[in-house]
Structure 1
Amino acid sequence: MAWLARLEREHDNLRVAMRWLLEEGETDTAVRLAWALWLFWRVHGYQGEGYRYTGETLEAGDALSTVVRAKALCVRGLMSYGIESIEGTERLWEQSAALFRQTKDTFGLALTMGGLSAMALAQGDLDRSTALFEETMDLYRKIENRWGVGSVLSHQGVIPLSRGEHERAARYFEEALAISR
């Protein structure tokens, strides 16, 4: 993706901007930047950086609005793979999901629920993962988010695959591929 390459070229400038925002107490804007950069950080291997930045934003505590706190918790959860314990990541997403429900932010809730679904899948809790992915799918379909639908379908395919249901898994993967093209 061209925009990811551009962000990589501008990465040092983005770091300077984030550092300045945090030092100046512009926490809301720092969270907005983190929310915009989470996929870049994840795809390009900067999860530790995103994790640190969101940790600094969360230090503002009650000064953060509900929606800003929800986004900071969500991004921290997305960045926490391999850094936090599974329980720590789940806590971040559960807190984020509760706040996104309050603010009726469907995309944020879907992103967070997708994380909880993937965690359940990684832990081998296929029944919980299935239920969470179904809720996540409903949310992404509600807002007509093709990327989210494709992502959920690809994860849902892992469940029947792990049960030896190869044909059923293939249907999920094929649908995910068709949507993602």
Structure 2
Amino acid sequence: MGAYEFSIRSTDDSDWREIRDVRLEMIRDTPTGYAESLEEALRHEEAEWRMRGHRGASDQGIAIAAITESGRWVGTMAGFVPDPETGPLLVGVYVAPDYRGSKVGLTDALLTAVEDWARTESHQLTLHVHEDNVRARKAYENRGFAATGHSVPYNLDPSRNELEMVKKL
């Protein structure tokens, strides 16, 4: 087996433990990357995690995970349509530090799956990225996303912003 072999699949409610664990890992890795604090995430009960897992089986969006042969969850992405004007929104993006980079291909593999879903909804995919998350902004730019000039206050610290980026599909 190669060092970076993984499979990608949709999540379901039976994945709730893995979804919880990877979410906590995500927030610990990049606290400003997500719309909830570690303290909030730690308070969620099993029903919340099961609901999040079920998103992968939903017709209203996509939730996928990248999993190694040993069962380790090394990446996740999701998308949903909050309203017709916004169209598909990329959320919950995470790739484990040791699986990042173009040589691995995990980010591209996950993003391709989300983009394939998004094309069934619209001609573009939108995301919001914290203004201080330079690593993520560069990664998105390298994959065809461009800043729109719009921003929204970051919900955990309204003195900071999340920048809107869009990719034409």
Q: Which one has a larger percent strand, Structure 1 or Structure 2? A: 2
Q: Which one has a larger percent helix, Structure 1 or Structure 2? A: 1
Provide TM-score, normalisation by structure 1. 0.33
Structure showing greater radius of gyration is 1
Provide TM-score, normalisation by structure 2. 0.35
Higher relative contact order (CA 8 A, sep 6+): 2
